[in-house]
Amino acid sequence: MEQIYDLLVLGGGPAGLAAGMYGARARMKTGIIEKGKPGGQAATTEDLENYPGFGRGTTGPGLTQAMADHAASFGAEFIKDTIVSLDLKSSPQKVIGKKGEYLGKAVVYALGAEPRMLKAPGEGKLRGKGVSYCATCDADLFEELDVAVVGSGDAAIEEAEYLSKFADSVTVIVIHEEGKVDANQVSFERAQQNPKLKWIWNSIVKSINGEELVESITLKNIKTGEESDYPINGVFIFIGTVPLTEILAGQVELNQQGYVITDEKMATSAEGVFAAGDVRAKYLRQVVTAASDGAIAAVAAEKYVHETELWEKEVLKARKPVLVAYYNPTDMSGTEKVGIVDRFVRENNERFSLVKVDATRNELVGRRYHVDLDHLPKLHLFINGEVKKEMDDIGENSLKALIKSL
Catalytic residues: 134, 137-138
Contact call for residues 208 and 123 (beta carbons, < 8 A): yes
Got the DSSP string for 206-228?
A: EEEE-SSS--EEEEEETTT--EE
Contact call for residues 331 and 319 (beta carbons, < 8 A): no
Quote the CA–CA distance of 359 and 182 in Å, as a whole number.
45
Distances 296 to 9, 26, 132, 289, 351 between C-alpha atoms, Å: 13, 13, 34, 11, 41
Distances 270 to 61, 276, 297 between C-alpha atoms, Å: 33, 14, 14
Quote the CA–CA distance of 19 and 21 in Å, as a whole number.
5
Got the DSSP string for 320-362?
A: S-EEEEEE-TT-HHHHHHHHHHHHHHHHTTTT-EEEEEETTT-
Quote the CA–CA distance of 377 and 233 in Å, as a whole number.
71
**Which neighbouring-strand residues pair with 94?**
87, 103
Question: What number of other Cβ atoms are within 10 A of residue 375's Cβ?
Answer: 10
Question: What number of other Cβ atoms are within 10 A of residue 398's Cβ?
Answer: 14
How many degrees, rounded to 5, is the angle at CA 141 between CA 140 and CA 145? 100
